[in-house]
Amino acid sequence: MVARAERYTEQGQSPKKIIRRTELAPGIVEFEINAPLIASSAHAGQFVRVLAWAKGELIPLTLADWDAEKGTIDLVVQSLGSSSAYINQMLEGEVIAGIAGPLGLPSQLHRYHDGETVVFTAGGVGLPPVYPIMREHLRMGNHVTLISGFRTKDLVFWDKSDGRVGLLQAEYPDLLDVIYTTNDGSFGINGFVTAPLQEMLDAMKTDSGRTIGEVVTIGPPLMMRAVSDLTKAYGVKTVASLNSIMVDATGMCGACMVPVTIDGEMVRKHACIDGPELDAHVIDWDKFLPRFLQFQKQEEANRVRHNFA
C-alpha cells in the first residue's frame, strides 16, 4: 500500500514535459505531454486545467487523447489569449508549470440502433475534444457522422489519411461519415456546420435519411447555439460541451455558471462539475453567451503586457 501511494505521488509530481509538439495549422499546436496520473484515469469528454507558467492562469482544455501505457496526454491549443499563446511557443523538452485533472464528468455514451447515427458538429478546435468521444461511439458500434467546420482551408487539420480523422475513417469505413465545411468554401461544403446538419434533419423527417440518435456540438459558443436552436425544432437530443471561463473548477466560485431552465425554473449549473457536457436545449443561451466576453478587456491588456498582441 505504501509502495502504491509512493508510485501515485511520483506519477502525480512527474514534470509535465512536452514530449512532442506538432503545428497543425497557423496558431494551432498539438502537444503530447508527460502526465501519467491523468492518463491513467482519463475518460472521453473530460478536461484538464493547464498552468502555463508558475504565476500564470489556469486554463481549461478538453483532452484530445491520452495513452495510459505511455503516461501521456494530448492537447490541442489555439493561440487566443496570453496563456494559450505562451503554451504554443513552448518547445519539446520544456515543462509546463502544472496540469490538473482529469476534471468534469465523462461523456454519457449510449448504444444506438443500427441505422441511427450520432452527429458531431465540431467547429475549428472543437474537433480535438470531439475526437475521443466519437472514437468511443465507434468502438461501441455506433454509426457516427462528423461535420467538421473550419473558417478556411488553411486551418483544416487531421483530415489526411495519416491524420486522426483519416485514420478513424480507415478503421471504421462503414461506421464513420465525415463532412467538411468551410466558411469561405475553400474546402468541403461552403458554409457552416448547420447546413449539412439541416439536410440530415430534413432527410430524417422525410424518412429518406438516417435517424439521428443525438447531436454533440463542440466549438465556438455561437455555433453551438445555432446547432442547438436548429435541432430543438426537430426534437433531437443535443449535448453541448462548454469550454467556459473557469477560476477554481470546483463548483465554488461561480465563474463557469451556465443558466439552464428546468421545468420553467432557472437553475445554475456549473460547467466544471456538472459538465463540461450539458443538454444544449435547456441552456439559456441569451444569458450564457455574454459571459464569454466578461473578461475581454483584461485579456486584451494581458496580451499587450506579455507581448502577444
Query: Is 249 among the residues that bind ligand FES (CB under 6 A)?
Result: yes
Binding residues for ligand FES, rule CB under 6 A, total 12
Which residues, 6 or more positions from 64, have their beta carbon under 8 angstroms from its beta carbon? 30, 74, 75, 76, 128, 129, 131, 132
Query: Which residue from 102, 99, 95 is spatially nearest to 15, judged by alpha carbons?
Result: 95
Query: Is 309 among the residues that bind ligand FES (CB under 6 A)?
Result: no
Antiparallel, parallel or unpaired: β 189-190 and 98-103: unpaired
Helices 82-89 and 296-305 pack at an angle, to 10 degrees, of 40
Pick from 197, 239, 272, 283 the residue near ligand FES by CB under 6 A.
272
CB closer to ligand FES, 98 vs 251 = 251
CB closer to ligand FES, 234 vs 295 = 295
Query: Is 270 among the residues that bind ligand FES (CB under 6 A)?
Result: yes
Nearest approach in angstroms of CB 281 to ligand FES is: 22
What is the CA angle 206-212-218, rounded to 5? 130
Which residues, 6 or more positions from 206, have their beta carbon under 8 angstroms from its beta carbon? none
Nearest approach in angstroms of CB 279 to ligand FES is: 18
Query: Is 267 among the residues that bind ligand FES (CB under 6 A)?
Result: no
Query: Is 259 among the residues that bind ligand FES (CB under 6 A)?
Result: no
Residues 188-247 that bind ligand FES (CB under 6 A): 246-247
Query: Is 258 among the residues that bind ligand FES (CB under 6 A)?
Result: no
- Residue span binding ligand FES (CB under 6 A) among the ranges 33-41, 61-69, 192-200, 254-262: 254-262
Nearest approach in angstroms of CB 250 to ligand FES is: 6
CB closer to ligand FES, 68 vs 252 = 252
What is the CA angle 24-30-36, rounded to 5? 160
Q: Are 258 and 212 in contact (CB under 8 A)?
A: no
Question: What is the DSSP secondary-structure string of 145-164?
Answer: EEEEEESSGGG--S-STTSH
Nearest approach in angstroms of CB 275 to ligand FES is: 9
Nearest approach in angstroms of CB 255 to ligand FES is: 4
Kindly give the residue spans of alpha helices, DSSP state H, lying in the chain: 2-13, 36-41, 82-89, 127-140, 164-171, 194-205, 221-234, 285-288, 296-305
Antiparallel, parallel or unpaired: β 98-103 and 47-51: antiparallel
CB closer to ligand FES, 84 vs 181 = 84
Pick from 253, 262, 267, 301 the residue near ligand FES by CB under 6 A.
253
Pick from 138, 195, 255, 289 the residue near ligand FES by CB under 6 A.
255
8-state DSSP, 283 = B
CB closer to ligand FES, 7 vs 268 = 268
Q: Are 71 and 10 in contact (CB under 8 A)?
A: no
Contacting positions for ligand FES (CB under 6 A): 246-249, 251-256, 270, 272
